[in-house]
Amino acid sequence: MPITVRLGESIEKRLDDLARLTGRTKTYYVRQALEEKLDELEDLYIAEHRIEKPKGERWSLDQLERGDDLEG
Protein backbone atom coordinates (compact mmCIF):
# COMPACT_ATOMS: atom_id res chain seq x y z
CA MET A 1 0.00 0.00 0.00
CA PRO A 2 1.65 3.28 -1.07
CA ILE A 3 2.05 6.10 1.41
CA THR A 4 3.16 9.69 1.07
CA VAL A 5 5.74 11.17 3.40
CA ARG A 6 6.70 14.82 3.59
CA LEU A 7 10.32 15.43 4.49
CA GLY A 8 11.98 18.63 5.57
CA GLU A 9 14.43 20.21 3.15
CA SER A 10 17.52 19.18 5.10
CA ILE A 11 16.44 15.54 5.32
CA GLU A 12 15.49 15.52 1.65
CA LYS A 13 18.93 16.90 0.73
CA ARG A 14 20.73 14.35 2.89
CA LEU A 15 18.69 11.57 1.34
CA ASP A 16 19.39 12.87 -2.18
CA ASP A 17 23.11 13.12 -1.43
CA LEU A 18 23.28 9.62 0.03
CA ALA A 19 21.38 8.11 -2.89
CA ARG A 20 23.58 9.90 -5.42
CA LEU A 21 26.79 8.93 -3.59
CA THR A 22 25.91 5.24 -3.29
CA GLY A 23 23.89 4.67 -6.46
CA ARG A 24 20.93 3.37 -4.48
CA THR A 25 17.44 4.82 -4.54
CA LYS A 26 15.97 7.13 -1.96
CA THR A 27 13.21 4.54 -1.53
CA TYR A 28 15.81 1.96 -0.53
CA TYR A 29 17.09 4.18 2.29
CA VAL A 30 13.64 5.23 3.46
CA ARG A 31 12.57 1.58 3.61
CA GLN A 32 15.75 0.59 5.47
CA ALA A 33 15.36 3.42 8.00
CA LEU A 34 11.71 2.56 8.62
CA GLU A 35 12.43 -1.13 9.12
CA GLU A 36 15.16 -0.39 11.66
CA LYS A 37 13.09 2.19 13.52
CA LEU A 38 10.00 -0.05 13.51
CA ASP A 39 12.03 -2.80 15.19
CA GLU A 40 12.97 -0.37 17.95
CA LEU A 41 9.44 0.98 18.33
CA GLU A 42 7.90 -2.50 18.45
CA ASP A 43 10.35 -3.53 21.18
CA LEU A 44 9.67 -0.36 23.15
CA TYR A 45 5.88 -0.49 22.97
CA ILE A 46 5.71 -4.22 23.65
CA ALA A 47 7.90 -3.73 26.74
CA GLU A 48 5.78 -0.80 27.93
CA HIS A 49 2.59 -2.78 27.38
CA ARG A 50 3.95 -5.73 29.37
CA ILE A 51 4.94 -3.44 32.23
CA GLU A 52 1.50 -1.80 32.29
CA LYS A 53 -0.45 -5.05 31.89
CA PRO A 54 1.70 -7.91 33.12
CA LYS A 55 0.63 -11.50 32.60
CA GLY A 56 1.69 -14.17 35.01
CA GLU A 57 4.31 -14.05 37.71
CA ARG A 58 7.10 -11.47 37.93
CA TRP A 59 10.65 -12.18 39.13
CA SER A 60 13.14 -9.92 40.85
CA LEU A 61 16.61 -9.25 39.49
CA ASP A 62 18.02 -11.12 42.52
CA GLN A 63 15.99 -14.22 41.61
CA LEU A 64 17.19 -14.08 38.02
CA GLU A 65 20.83 -13.57 39.00
CA ARG A 66 20.70 -16.46 41.49
CA GLY A 67 19.22 -18.71 38.84
CA ASP A 68 16.23 -19.68 40.99
CA ASP A 69 13.91 -22.21 39.42
CA LEU A 70 11.42 -19.66 38.19
CA GLU A 71 9.28 -22.03 36.17
CA GLY A 72 8.50 -24.50 38.91
Residue 60: the pLDDT is 82
- DSSP SS3 for 64: helix
Q: Hey, how many other C-beta atoms are within 10 angstroms of the C-beta on 15?
A: 17
2: closest CA among 31, 35, 36?
A: 31
- Give domain status of residue 39, yes or no: yes
Residue 71: the pLDDT is 65
pTM for this model (two decimals)? 0.60
- Give domain status of residue 63, yes or no: no
CA within 13 Å, CB half, 2: 2
Residue 14: the pLDDT is 97
Residue span of the structural domain in which 15 resides: 9-54
pLDDT tens across 8-67, in order?
999 999 999 999 999 999 999 999 999 999 999 999 988 888 888 878 777 788 888 888
**pLDDT band for position 70 (cuts 50, 70, 90):** low
- Give domain status of residue 36, yes or no: yes
Contact (CB, 8 A) for 5 and 30: yes
